[in-house]
Chains A and B, each alone.
Chain A
């Protein structure tokens, strides 16, 4: 954990200012910029898929990252993997956050109980 509480608050403040800048970007300077280049716009469209997958995958497989920077991490089976697969199916069918969380949690509890 970041030891200094002051540093932690600075990170949160800077994160807030940076996030606001991203949100305000084209909205507030709209008088000057009408269109962003299509290539950039297309690249930005890929951000959610790439970022969200980067958040999901390491939390679903059991990664052993104790080997040092030059060693590939080892990946082990975790009951979270099939539970996430079931949740992904529910997400795809329903596009409902609540149903996805419920399905994944129930699947995990069931697999852990077996």
Chain B
């Protein structure tokens, strides 16, 4: 198959996910403008950081007046899931050139990772096919993210106030959270992260998010074995 056909296959595979990405990008653009951020910065962040959840969290903290270090730490903690994706997809990228791998890394998203890994696991694919399938999927998502962000920025100024539109942000995170709570240990991570952030709300410099999220990861990792051995009776519900 040609590179072009492989890329189109990838683009096709990721297209259902755009239904979730486009509203996310719109919400990001609209709320960032609504909170008074510089439109150029908001758009540039989509290209420079290119990570929706981290961008939304950063916009929220910037608008609240958090210190620069806390905004940066939050971006990095929210993106700590990427080394996990990188480690799991790396063997499939081994035959690529360093330059191709560097580009693939920049384009990595939750969706591109999920779509590509599904393809690699189901098919015995050539390195060429793997590369172009991934680039087709990941670049399609990149375009959709930039366009929806810019659209959100342009629309942002015209959205009437009083619609509680800022609530769309935690709802987006909620939609991503639910499938990530798969067992008792991940439910515990969510519980500690969620409750901990509220309990730490009075801590200085808005460090509560970073601190509570890390605490959730640590507690779940420590109790992972205990929770796994004594529990087979179904997964715990996440709390909102």
Q: Which residues of A contact B (CB under 8 A)?
A: 1-2, 5, 7-16, 18-20, 22-28, 30-31, 33-36, 39, 41-61, 63, 65, 67-73, 75, 80-81, 83-85, 87-88, 91-92, 95-98, 100-101, 104-105, 108-109, 112
- Judge whether B204 and A51 touch: CB under 8 Å: no
Q: Which residues of B contact A (CB under 8 A)?
A: 19-21, 23-24, 27, 36, 38, 41, 44-45, 48-51, 53-54, 56-58, 62-63, 65-68, 71-72, 75-87, 89-91, 93-94, 98, 101-102, 104-106, 108, 163-164, 166-181, 185-187, 189-199, 201-204, 208-209, 212-218, 220-221, 224, 238-240
Q: Given contacts A55-B173, A61-B198, A87-B171, is CB(A18)–CB(B72) below 8 Å?
A: yes
Residues of B within 8 A of A67 (CB): 202
Chain B binding surface, main DSSP class = helix
User: Closest CB of chain A to B22's CB: distance in Å?
Assistant: 9
What separation, in Å, do the CA atoms of A35 and B88 have in the docked complex?
9
What separation, in Å, do the CA atoms of A17 and B75 have in the docked complex?
11
What separation, in Å, do the CA atoms of A47 and B81 have in the docked complex?
6
- Judge whether A50 and B240 touch: CB under 8 Å: no
Closest 6 CB pairs of A and B: A50-B216, A97-B20, A50-B193, A53-B194, A16-B48, A57-B194
Residues of A within 8 A of B209 (CB): 51, 54-55, 58
What are 10 inter-chain pairs, A to B, with CB distance below 8 A?
A5-B38, A15-B45, A15-B76, A27-B86, A47-B217, A48-B177, A51-B213, A56-B194, A80-B167, A101-B171
